[in-house]
Amino acid sequence: MATKPLHDPYRQPVNDPMIDPVTGEYTVIAPGHNFTSVTRKIANVVLTSHTPLGWFFGLIVAGGIASIGLIAITWLVLKGTGIWGVTIPGAWGFAIVNFVWWIGIGHAGTLISAILLLFKQSWRNSINRFAEAMTIFAVVCAGLFPVLHVGRPWLGYWLLPLPNTMNIWPQFRSPLCWDVFAVSTYATISVVFWYIGMIPDFGTLRDKAQLPFAKWFYGLLSLGWRGSTRHWMRYETASLLLAGLSTPLVLSVHTVISFDFAVAALPGWHTTIFPPYFVAGAVYSGFAMVLTLAIPIRKFYHMEDLVTMRHLDNMGKVMLCTGLIVAYGYGMEVFMAWYSASHWEFFMMWNRMFGPIGWGYWLLILFNIAIPLLTLWWRKWRTNVAWLFTLSIVVNIGMWFERFVIVITSLYRDFLPSSWGTYRATKWDYMLYLGTFGIFTFLFLLFVRFIPMIPMNEIKMMLPQTKFNGIDAEETIEETA
Amino acid sequence: MPVEEGVYGLLAEFNTPQAMVKATVAARDAGYRRMECYTPYPVEEAATALDVHRNRVPLVTLMGGLMGLTTAFLMQTWMSAISYPINIAGRPLFSWPAFIIPAYEWTILFAGLSAAFGMLGLNGLPQPYHPLFNAPNFRVGATDDKFFLCLEATDPKFDLGETRDFLEQFRAVSVVEVDL
């Protein structure tokens, strides 16, 4: 439930209201909450009849940006992928960069919901629902790119092993085919895990709703949940198993995506560091995105006592850790380019740093390594909300440039100088990328309005009233009432 | 469906999980077996009192996982080596190391779906109607802040008067009859 008190003058009950003076344990949510207040606080966001105007404003803006993307998609379907900047030698352009970037963002959601659950990091309870929502919407945005990149999106089902009149099957020896399996499994399991987690909360909404339609709607989604102990025990087992299954899954997804690159015999791609480096980078950018979303939302909906400074501090620590793994990856790439004694590897690295788009490399070093990793070491910086928000955007830009640098600088100058070229994205590339931000924000705004964004039952589990260790029950209730 | 008449059970409402668990333990000691606790979040102690910790969700998940593994592996083998063998860059038709990755993903896919749907199936969900929803106070508190113990009428020891007296000795907020 809570970590042990540390021998640190700042971490004493006198100085820190988050420390329970009775037990000396670090609480996850701010004191003063009881079961009813948690339900009311979270359910009211959904059940209120006064939708904040800011929400409508956000939805309109997001919808407007999403329609830019829809225009780009329509024109693409009409004209073909020729409207994009992808040519030879830059055959993999924005489509792959953005696919890897979005799917990487999704990884933090699964890490929070699955891996931190297995490690009994109960602070994750406050942020797991919207982190998982972020995962699903990020996978939706990511999935658009490869489906559109195949050129004839209406034939996208050819990627699946379905019987067809041509009697041929997918090429199971290709990492691109593995991608289909990995990403589709990831999307399915994420949605299932997310929904299973919401069933008890839908039960609460069904019982609290006033409008007949809301009662019917949430009643349908709750599947008749009634909180029976037998049900809860199976539910807890299933959640734990899903967490245990999602953990190897999330690690495998970005590993498989890194195989798209690592299996190719191209300098800059053909390295064994890619799988761990991709996974760490994914978690790094994903936590940045969780912060980008969590900081405005907790402010807007006044959730500061449920998503506390401790959450932000912990997320900063996870970013520091994964950021260091990413930094190691960059270092190792440079080292191996030299140590391999391969002319092509050496040239690729030189070209990546000092070639025509070398500025991209230095931008990613600045945004991913220099700025975040120099500040995240200090608690003072990690608990500075404005700085953390800025940092989250900086890291996401940096991580986008990482994928850009990996994809583009390895491709546009390969072995033969006669076949060198360059890559320049067209306005349609930019419009589609911008459009996915709109789609993502639009879906996320619908989520915060219609689904409880913080799991009520999991927050209740962390309240002091749930403790059984010898404290008289009635007293506890009176104290906190 | 024939209209059933009678009492589903007696539902005692408590303010705290501790009081509910105390009553549950006492009810079990008194010989009641057909009973169930209803709580807004999982209460481990109630599961211990009811002795319902063991369940078959892990078995269902294991079966699903094994099914996914064999399905994916055999499917790829059949498609690549038997149904339509094509020589691609001289690679063996039965390239089993490559087949491991989709098989790994489908193991997780099938196991995860089995865990989720197995849990719902074993729980008998979706079940939009349940007699408990007839109790006036159940939907007010069961998913919010109240803790319920229901002693069911199918229990051989159940007797409307005696069971009510039994439940009222604990600090229950209320004890109500639940109609079928």
- pLDDT per position as a tens digit, A214-226: 889 998 999 989 8
Q: Which residue of A has its CA nearest to B84?
A: A168
Please enumerate in sequence order all residues whose Cβ is within 8 A of that of A388, keeping only pairs 6 or more positions apart, or say none: A291, A295, A312, A316, A381, A382
Q: Which residue of B has its CA nearest to A204?
A: B143
Q: How confident is the model at residue A139 (pLDDT cuts 50, 70, 90)?
A: very high
pLDDT at A10: 57
Average pLDDT rounded to a whole number, residues B42-71:
90
Nearest to B39 among A184, A227, A476 (CB): A227
Measured between CA atoms, how close is A426 to chain B, in angstroms?
A: 35
Q: Does B172 reach chain A within 8 Å, measured CB to CB?
A: no
* Interface test with chain A among B144, B147, B149, B150, by most A beta carbons within 10 Å: B144
User: Using one digit for the tens of pLDDT, what is the confidence trace for A112-125?
Assistant: 888 888 887 878 88
Q: What is the average pLDDT score of chain A? A: 86
pLDDT at A1: 43
**Six-digit token string for B126:** 């979706």
Residues A410, A420: Cα–Cα separation, whole Å: 11
Amino acid in position A305: D
Q: Does B145 reach chain A within 8 Å, measured CB to CB?
A: yes
Is it the case that residue A366 has pLDDT exceeding 90? Answer: yes
Residues A279, A273: Cα–Cα separation, whole Å: 10
Q: How confident is the model at residue A433 (pLDDT cuts 50, 70, 90)?
A: very high
Q: Which residue of A has its CA nearest to B141?
A: A207
Please enumerate in sequence order all residues whose Cβ is within 8 A of that of A143, keeping only pairs 6 or more positions apart, or say none: A183, A187
Do the Cβ atoms of B115 and A178 come within 8 Å? no
Which residues of A are less than 8 Å from B37 in CB distance? 228-229
Measured between CA atoms, how close is A446 to chain B, in angstroms?
A: 24
Please enumerate in sequence order all residues whose Cβ is within 8 A of that of A266, keeping only pairs 6 or more positions apart, or say none: A410, A411, A414
Q: What is the average pLDDT score of chain B? A: 87
Residues B19, A157: Cα–Cα separation, whole Å: 57
Q: Which residue of B has its CA nearest to A256?
A: B101
Give me the helices (H) in B9-95, please.
17-29, 44-50, 57-77
Please enumerate in sequence order all residues whose Cβ is within 8 A of that of A277, keeping only pairs 6 or more positions apart, or say none: A258, A325, A326, A328, A329, A332
Q: How confident is the model at residue B68 (pLDDT cuts 50, 70, 90)?
A: very high
pLDDT at B3: 47
Measured between CA atoms, how close is B158 to chain A, in angstroms?
A: 20
Residues A304, A297: Cα–Cα separation, whole Å: 9
Report percent pLDDT > 90 for chain B. Answer: 28
Is it the case that residue A326 has pLDDT exceeding 80? Answer: yes
Measured between CA atoms, how close is B36 to chain A, in angstroms?
A: 7
Backbone angles phi, psi at A88, to 5 degrees: -90, 130
Nearest to A236 among B37, B42, B125 (CB): B42
User: Using one digit for the tens of pLDDT, what is the confidence trace for B100-158?
Assistant: 999 999 999 999 999 999 999 999 888 888 888 888 888 888 888 888 988 888 888 88
Nearest to B50 among A219, A229, A466 (CB): A229
Q: Does B95 reach chain A within 8 Å, measured CB to CB?
A: yes
Max mean pLDDT among A36-45, A224-233, B46-55 falls in A224-233
Higher confidence at residue A62 or residue B16?
Answer: A62
Q: How confident is the model at residue A8 (pLDDT cuts 50, 70, 90)?
A: low
Which residues of B are less than 8 Å from A177 in CB distance? 102
DSSP state string for A30-87: -SS--HHHHHHHHHHHHH-S---HHHHHHHHHHHHHHHHHHHHHHHHHHH-GGGSS--
Do the Cβ atoms of B112 and A474 come within 8 Å? no
pLDDT at B145: 84
Q: What residues form DSSP beta bridges with B7?
A: B179
**Residue A256 near residue A279, CB atoms below 8 Å:** no
Measured between CA atoms, how close is B160 to chain A, in angstroms?
A: 22
Tally A–B CB contacts below 8 A: 218
Average pLDDT rounded to a whole number, residues A364-382:
90
Do the Cβ atoms of A229 and B80 come within 8 Å? no
Q: Which residue of B has its CA nearest to A472?
A: B18
Q: Does B48 reach chain A within 8 Å, measured CB to CB?
A: no
Do the Cβ atoms of B17 and A227 come within 8 Å? no
Residue B152 is given by DSSP the state E
Higher confidence at residue A102 or residue A165?
Answer: A102
Measured between CA atoms, how close is B80 to chain A, in angstroms?
A: 7
* B150, containing H or E segment: strand B147-152
Q: Is the peptide bond before B126 cis (omega within 30 degrees of 0)?
A: yes
Higher confidence at residue B52 or residue A184?
Answer: A184
pLDDT at A13: 61
Quick one: CA dihedral A151, A154, A158, A160, positive or negative? positive
Average pLDDT rounded to a whole number, residues A372-379:
90
Nearest to A235 among B76, B119, B132 (CB): B119
Q: Which residue of B has its CA nearest to A186?
A: B109
ipTM for the assembly: 0.91
Report percent pLDDT > 70 for chain A. Answer: 91
Measured between CA atoms, how close is A290 to chain B, in angstroms?
A: 25
pLDDT at A19: 66
User: Using one digit for the tens of pLDDT, what is the confidence trace for A444-475?
Assistant: 999 988 998 888 888 888 877 777 765 444 44
Model confidence, pTM? 0.87
Upper half-sphere CA count for residue A183 (Cβ side, 13 Å): 27
Q: How confident is the model at residue A11 (pLDDT cuts 50, 70, 90)?
A: low
Measured between CA atoms, how close is A203 to chain B, in angstroms?
A: 7
Q: Does B88 reach chain A within 8 Å, measured CB to CB?
A: yes
Q: Which residue of B has its CA nearest to A179?
A: B102
Residues B39, B148: Cα–Cα separation, whole Å: 6
pLDDT at A47: 82
Residues A124, A133: Cα–Cα separation, whole Å: 14
Is it the case that residue A441 has pLDDT exceeding 70? Answer: yes
Residues B69, B79: Cα–Cα separation, whole Å: 16
Q: Does B17 reach chain A within 8 Å, measured CB to CB?
A: yes
Residue B135 is given by DSSP the state S
Is it the case that residue A310 has pLDDT exceeding 90? Answer: no
- If DSSP codes are grouped into helix, strand and coil, which group holds residue A170? coil
CA B137 to chain CA centroid, Å, is 23
Measured between CA atoms, how close is B81 to chain A, in angstroms?
A: 11
Amino acid in position A143: G
Q: How confident is the model at residue A56 (pLDDT cuts 50, 70, 90)?
A: very high
pLDDT at A474: 47
* Interface test with chain B among A42, A159, A172, A242, by most B beta carbons within 10 Å: A172
**Residue A343 near residue A278, CB atoms below 8 Å:** no
Higher confidence at residue B159 or residue A375?
Answer: A375
Question: Which position has the token pair 């024939």?
Answer: B2
Q: How confident is the model at residue A477 (pLDDT cuts 50, 70, 90)?
A: very low
pLDDT at A14: 63
* Interface test with chain B among A185, A460, A477, by most B beta carbons within 10 Å: A185
**Six-digit token string for A23:** 């037990």
Residues B114, A241: Cα–Cα separation, whole Å: 10
User: Using one digit for the tens of pLDDT, what is the confidence trace for A252-275?
Assistant: 998 999 998 898 888 888 888 899
* Beta pairing class for B7-14 and B147-152: antiparallel
Using CA atoms, how far residue A8 sits from A5, A18, A358, in Å, is 8, 14, 45
Residues A268, A271: Cα–Cα separation, whole Å: 7
Which residues of B are less than 8 Å from A477 in CB distance? 15-16
Give me the helices (H) in A160-266, please.
175-208, 212-222, 229-262
* Interface test with chain A among B14, B34, B41, B113, by most A beta carbons within 10 Å: B41
Which residues of A are less than 8 Å from B77 in CB distance? none
